[in-house]
Amino acid sequence: MKLKLLPKLMMSLTILGIVLTLSLAFFGYHNTKSYLEDMYEYRVTFGAKSIAAMLDLDDVRTILAPGGDQTEAYRRTSALLNQLKREGGISFLSLVSNDADSVTFYIDCNVPEMGDDPADEMPYGTDVLYTDAANGEEDLRKYYDIWECYANGQAVDPPAVTDNSYGYNYTVVAPILDENGRTIAAIQYILDMHDMREHLNSYLYSTLTIALVVVGLSVVAYIMFIRKTVTQPIGRLAEFAKNVTTAGRFNTRGIELKTGDEIEALGSSFNFMLLELDHYIHDLTAMTAEKERISAELDVATHIQSSMLPCIFPAFPERGEFDIYATMNPAKEVGGDFYDFFMVDERHLAIVMADVSGKGVPAALFMVIGKTLIKDHTQSGTDLGSVFSEVNDLLCESNSEGLFITAFEGVLDLMTGEFTFVNAGHEIPFIAKNGEPFAPYKIQAGFVLAGMEEMNYRCGSLNLAPGDKIFQYTDGVTEATDANEQLYGMERLGAVLNRNTDKKPEELLPLVKADIDAFVGAAPQFDDITMLCLEFKRYMGQERAE
């Protein structure tokens, strides 16, 4: 379901308001909580240490001795601690001693006017196990931490925070040390933090409520402002655009918006756009007609180019010495790749594979020139290196577009099986000896044709025997790219060739093209794909094998 602009603004502003409200409320809550916790931690720690320091050591020893609760020291100390509890608002104040698993109470202050229940007062000498007082493993671990501090003569700092049957408390146990620094007892100072927790919760709720009200009113006011100054004018403009589109007339309409801002400028720009659009449609109609004319001419050019390449197979049905097949799939209507094969004389077969830099019509025209020159200069007895040297100089003379050609030409002597070749920067061929797999034949490539004048090209040679095959191609084969920008590569090419070593040339090339298409998938073709396969079947003059 599509939402209009105003509901989207309302939703986004409401979400923003909620986020701001929560952020402000929780930020204030966190700061207040940290401040109060620090303040109460200091109060509890300082209070416990102060009370432990003010007690008389002799009175403490007397209280701890058997029958200590019957002494004047007990009554005097108990009165002092109760007074400190009352005046300091201390929740629980006790004179205790600790051991590894329990705490023993000697004086447990009880002030009824503070709400203390006399029945809850710990009698003199009461021993409480940590496991009985703790509410779970976490609480129990805190009691053991208190014991460790007590044993080391240290006050619990910061306070231990416990939440159990005694309430939500800050607890500090401050040791009472004798003249030798040994712990003889401790002051257990506990402050109930329930009121602080309630205060923080009340603060959070109040802050959230106030923030929600303020932000809510601000959002409503801002939405009303946006509706009047933004969404209504834009709505008028949208309705106007819909009406114009429905009518299909662009030069007789206009809209007037008086907002004094960018929306008014948008309306004026829209009016100007309508006039320009009318002119554009007129020009587009003319351009479409011209494009259709060019497309028709390109179709003719494609047909002419394909007709210039040998395309009738079998090419030499009367010759039993060899079998040859070639294909070319241009990336555009016309391509820059070309192949050729022709009889130089009665015993020599020439094959050519070439790739012109660039694409489209310029490359196709340069291809025609290159193909014609190579064929015209390939004569019986002429060194192929000299052929490419002469063709290179002629191409350089008329190369105003800065194009170049990578080319490979080979001539097979059908009488002896000698295969002479010359390579001008082109891909190396794959050769399969009779009964053996295809393998790339390492040829040192010369410089490209039309790249530089007065280049000398050297001719090479190898011997072919009946049953041998030569597969030549352009870089559009190995550089075919899939959707993940992975190249087809020579390894894949060699693999598909060797899966089909026994196939005839006219069977092999379609299988290679199918493998390339399967690899590329839906990715577009960026380069021409041209292939040629020559199979040497028997020596000239040798009887045809049945």
What CATH number matches the domain at 309-536, 3.60.130.10, 3.40.109.10, 3.60.40.10, 3.90.1010.10? 3.60.40.10
User: Tokens at residue 475, please?
Assistant: 């870089």
Tens of pLDDT, residue by residue, the chain (546 residues): 555 666 767 778 788 878 888 888 788 878 887 888 889 888 989 998 999 889 999 999 999 999 999 999 999 999 999 999 999 889 899 999 988 888 999 999 999 988 888 888 889 989 989 888 888 888 888 888 888 888 888 888 888 887 766 678 888 888 999 888 899 999 999 888 887 778 878 877 888 888 788 888 887 888 777 777 777 777 767 676 676 666 666 555 666 666 767 776 776 776 667 767 767 776 777 787 777 665 555 555 555 566 678 888 888 999 999 999 999 888 775 667 889 999 999 999 999 999 998 777 788 888 889 999 999 999 998 999 999 999 999 999 878 788 999 999 999 999 999 999 999 999 999 999 987 899 999 888 899 999 999 999 999 999 999 999 999 999 999 999 999 999 999 999 999 999 999 999 999 999 999 999 999 998 888 888 999 999 999 999 876 443
Contacts of residue 75, Cβ cutoff 8 Å, sequence gap at least 6: none
- Environment class of 61 (CB within 10 Å of its CB; exposed 0-12, middle 13-18, buried 19+): middle
Q: In Å, what is the CA distance from 313 to each residue of 310, 318, 321, 472?
A: 8, 12, 15, 18
Note the pLDDT of residue 546: 39
Distances (CA, A) of 211 to 14, 19, 20, 217, 430: 13, 11, 8, 10, 79
User: What's the CA gap between 464 and 273, in Å, rounded?
Assistant: 71
Torsion sign, CA atoms 57, 61, 63, 64 = positive
- The residue whose two tokens read 């402050």 is 191
Residue 408 · residue 472 · CB < 8 Å? yes
Per-residue pLDDT at 392: 95
pLDDT computed for residue 155 by the predictor: 82
pLDDT tens string 40-57: 888 989 998 999 889 999
Burial class (CB in 10 A: 0-12, 13-18, 19+), 113: exposed
Please, are residues 93 and 44 in contact by the beta-carbon 8 Å criterion?
Answer: no
- Are the C-beta atoms of residues 476 and 528 closer than 8 Å to each other? yes
Give the number of C-alpha atoms closer than 13 A to the C-alpha of residue 301, restricted to the C-beta side.
20
List the structure tokens of 542: 């040798």
The amino acid at 320:
G
In the chain, where the domains are located: 55-192, 248-305, 309-536
Domain at 55-192, CATH class: alpha beta
Contact 354, 367 (CB under 8 A): yes
**CA nearest 322: which of 469, 508, 422, 420?**
469
Instruction: Say how many C-beta atoms besides its own lie within 10 A of residue 440's C-beta.
Output: 15
Residues 479 and 509: their CA atoms lie apart, in Å, by 17
The pTM score is: 0.50
What digits encode the pLDDT tens for the residues 53-97? 899 999 999 999 999 999 999 999 999 999 999 998 898 999 999
Q: Tell me the Cα Rg of the chain.
A: 50
Q: Are 102 and 114 in contact (CB under 8 A)?
A: no
Residue whose structure tokens are 């993940």: 484
**Burial label, 27 (beta-carbon count in 10 A; 0-12, 13-18, 19+):** exposed
pLDDT at 360: 72
Contact 93, 109 (CB under 8 A): yes
- Phi and psi dihedrals of 476, rounded to 5? -65, -20
Q: Which amino acid is at 64?
A: L
**Which residues have CB under 8 Å from 429's CB, separation 6+?**
408, 410, 440, 441, 443, 470, 471, 472, 473
Condensed to tens digits (0 to 9), the pLDDT of residues 207-251 reads 888 878 888 888 788 877 777 777 777 776 767 667 666 666 655
CA dist 28 and 26 (Å) reads: 5
